[in-house]
Structure 1
Amino acid sequence: MTPAESTNDAVQLLTASSVRELATRLNVRPTKTLGQNFVIDPGTVRRIVRTAGVGSSDTVLEVGPGLGSLTLGLLETGAHVTAVEIDPVLAGALGETVTTHAPVAVDRLTVIAADAMELTELPTPPVRLVANLPYNVAVPVLLHLLAHLPSLREVLVMVQAEVADRIAAGPGSRTYGVPSAKAAWYASASRAGSIGRSVFWPAPNVDSALVRLVRRDPPLTTATRAEVFACIDAAFSQRRKTLRSALAGWAGSADLAEQALRSAGVDPTLRGERLDVTQFAAVAAARTAGEPKGRSAR
């Protein structure tokens, strides 16, 4: 019998009725401000955990655990879970929920009442991030955690379907943009499945999807991440313009932008949507190399 199997019978996942009962007891009303949509289907919870590949030896970070639906599913595997919750009421209640529904797992849960955007380190470095991210802050939270928690090797997050498409998009795709290029700095991304609206309470007005990211080394470049990201932001700030025009303000002039582009081996008449992150890194490095001493943004 595996560790995950041995804990299954001792963990009771939340159902639709238990989620509503818990919310009523805590006087919690899901708010759009915090992007709160609670998963009420145990089958969906187990599917997410299974898709994430969580094992009993893993240390998992969960952001926005809410009432604890996914938290219990992660603990069911035998993994150690660090749950970060911005809502103090929900953060305060999560330990009690786990004590009630998964008493064998209490020692494997750490709850941190904090804004995920302010996290720069954790007591126990997580190797996985598995979360139902609030739709309104999904991309900034994801990029922040990838930047500040280098121990994260794999990520599986549930986000708005449109956001999942943007994160996983490749160059040339209609949905390729800033989130795609910046996520690619840290990891390879791919869609990992769709989630129906009916498994949430309250049901959102948009479709949801799972997106998987697997950490990889960033492109080899003399430019800093900040310089590369500034180049990406500029390239997509005016999507319909050629890179020569779109990067003019960033480089100092259209001529300097063209000089950096040609030095990086990039056609100045292309648009930003055609470049991958390695090419953006090359353009940023070329621009930095062409700056007079003392003017580097590094």
Structure 2
Amino acid sequence: MSDSSAGPRLLGPAEVRQLAAGLDLRPTKQRGQNFVIDANTVRRIVREAGVTADDVVIEVGPGLGSLTLALLEVAGRVVAVEIDPKLAGLLPDTIASYAPEHVNRFEVVLGDAMRIDAVPGPAPTALVANLPYNVSVPVLIHMLTLLPSLERGLVMVQAEVADRLAAGPGSKVYGVPSVKAAWFADVRRAGSVGRNVFWPAPNVDSGLVAWTRREPPATTATRQEVFTVIDAAFAQRRKALRGALRELAGSSEAATAALEHAGVDPMTRGESLEVTDFARIAEGLAR
């Protein structure tokens, strides 16, 4: 074990199990609880995220603190949002034990990341998290919406979800998550993570997704209007947009008119369009 002056000590398999045993914790699938037990993996995540001492990092689902401790090695401040009261209660003690010099740069928020409407302290600049896999996309979209101060981030999600988030138009896995994420940011795949770095080991592979904030499309439509069009376009993937948007527009004729206003062929499918195309369609529908 290193001296505290050398920075935080990170958690390994023995420490993770010891902390879990102290809480009488049995990880649940319902909350997507798979704890990282490998120090190299959390350091890699922090490195790939490009975190610096100037960053205020928000972490969602810190669990027992594996990634939190790695973030505290580098970041100026870390705010961790945890839904589980037991885990949220233990986290400050873990930070005090493993990173005593960094206690004043850490804060835990007990709450559901999909429902919080504010974050304490200075505005966060980066989101770095091992997201619970069953809610990873809605959590990411909510955080990007809630916190315009976020400049960039890196999240670990199920490999298939990582592929979807980073997919471009025309790809087989391009869909709602791809387009909604593209509203906020440039998104890319940033690597893969093996199952053996988790306890318990998940039955799915994991992937890293990195993103950099950019301005949303210039449009007179609201984000919600555009997202409603995106949802409708992909609700029936095999349908041409004229049919997929019929209900939203009120009739096939109105859908066709909106698509033609946007310069989009009414027989096109949603999977071939970019976020800017969906914004123009939303404008056409608003007319």
Aligned equivalent of 1:41 = 38
Aligned equivalent of 2:113 = 116
**C-alpha deviation, 1:26, in angstroms:** 1.1
Aligned equivalent of 1:197 = 195
**C-alpha deviation, 1:11, in angstroms:** 1.1
Aligned equivalent of 1:185 = 183
Q: Name the amino acid aligned to 1:31.
A: T
Q: Name the amino acid aligned to 1:277.
A: V
**C-alpha deviation, 1:88, in angstroms:** 0.4
**C-alpha deviation, 1:10, in angstroms:** 2.8
Distance in 2, matches of 1:40 and 1:60, equals 21
Q: Which runs of 4+ in 1 moved over 6 A?
A: none
Q: Does 1:25 align with 2:33?
A: no
Q: 1:11 to 1:138 in 2, by over 3 A?
A: same
Q: Does 1:236 align with 2:230?
A: no
SS of 1:286's equivalent in the other structure is helix
Q: Does 1:219 align with 2:217?
A: yes
- Contact 1:78/1:105 (<8 A) preserved: no
Query: 1:120-135 counterparts in 2 under 5 A?
Result: 120-123=117-120, 124-135=122-133
Q: Name the amino acid aligned to 1:167.
A: L
Distance in 2, matches of 1:257 and 1:78, equals 49
Paired residue for 1:16, among 7, 13, 24? 13
Gaps of 5+ in 2: none
- Contact 2:52/2:74 (<8 A) preserved: yes
- Contact 1:38/1:200 (<8 A) preserved: yes
CA offsets, 1:195-233, max 9 Å, x none? 000000000000000001111111011111111011001
Distance in 2, matches of 1:32 and 1:260, equals 43
- Contact 2:4/2:100 (<8 A) preserved: no
Distance in 1, matches of 2:119 and 2:27, equals 27
Paired residue for 1:138, among 136, 139, 160? 136
Q: Does 1:57 align with 2:54?
A: yes
Q: 1:100 to 1:113 in 2, by over 3 A?
A: same
Q: Name the amino acid aligned to 1:225.
A: R
Q: How many residues align?
A: 284
Distance in 2, matches of 1:220 and 1:260, equals 18
Of all paired residues, the percent bearing the same amino acid is 62
Distance in 1, matches of 2:15 and 2:218, equals 50
Distance in 1, matches of 2:265 and 2:115, equals 39
- TM-score, scaled relative to structure 1: 0.94
**C-alpha deviation, 1:92, in angstroms:** 0.5
Gaps of 5+ in 1: 1-5, 290-298
Q: Does 1:147 align with 2:145?
A: yes
**C-alpha deviation, 1:120, in angstroms:** 1.8
CA offsets, 1:32-68, max 9 Å, x none? 0100000000010110011111111210000000000
Aligned equivalent of 2:172 = 174
SS of 1:222's equivalent in the other structure is coil
CA offsets, 1:144-178, max 9 Å, x none? 01001111110100000000111111111000000
